[in-house]
Copies of this chain bind each other. A is one copy, B any other.
Amino acid sequence: MAARTITIKENILGANAEQAEINRKRLDGHHVRMINIMSSPGSGKTSLIMQTIHRFRNKYRIAVIEGDVASSIDADKITQQNIPAIQINTSGGCHLDARMVQTALDGLDLDRIDLIFLENVGNLVCTADFDLGAHKDVVILSVPEGDDKPHKYPVAFIEADAVLVNKIDVLPYFDFNSDTFPEIISGLNPSARLFSLSAKTGEGMERWFSWIEETLS
């Protein structure tokens, strides 16, 4: 039973990795960069994307792919900003996969886009296993969740290109040790870039914006 389960998982991940590579090459062919944003529900993925769109909408042509278990709450917020958004509803599925992203890309005019944000399903466990064909994988942890979460849910942090600590405006009200947190991340993933910011107040966002520009240059 265990062996069979593992084989199925390897087959699924293998097929997914192939599709992810196809997605990435397709994006490269159109000079589009795609950034996959992962976190638990409510860590601030949509707010971060909205603020980043606000900053760069006159410089880059941006689109968003929204992954959700149900509802189109986030995609509606994006389209209200006159930004192209494709909604993927996973019908209960706990993560996006590369094939779902392929279908979403079919709905976008890639010759008129520079940057795609991929907002994954709110889930710190399952999303990290699936390469989607993005050029960068970003994981957000918000202050109220606690500084022990990278040890408890390590995979997303180990594989991320960037780790964002969001909601630093509420640091005074929570037991989150921002002095020792950088060591936790560098212990798990020495090459990850770490950003402390508040998408709500704007504090710390300039460093994140600079990283976006690096990624697009």
Chain A residues engaging chain B, CB cutoff 8 angstroms: 8, 40-42, 68-71, 73-74, 92, 94, 121-126, 129, 142, 144-146, 148-149, 151-155, 167, 169-170, 173-174
- A177–B151 CA distance with the chains assembled, in angstroms: 32
B92/A94 in contact, CB under 8 A: no
Q: Copies of this chain, how many?
A: 2
- A130–B63 CA distance with the chains assembled, in angstroms: 36
Question: Looking at the complex, which one of B42, B142, B151, B169 makes contact with A70 (CB distance below 8 Å)?
Answer: B151
Point out the residues of chain B lying under 8 angstroms from A69, CB to CB. Answer: 125, 152-155
Point out the residues of chain B lying under 8 angstroms from A155, CB to CB. Answer: 69, 92
B123/A68 in contact, CB under 8 A: no
CB distance from A58 to the nearest CB of B (A): 27
A-B pairs, 6 with minimum CB distance: A42-B145, A144-B144, A94-B125, A40-B40, A42-B146, A94-B126
A144/B42 in contact, CB under 8 A: yes
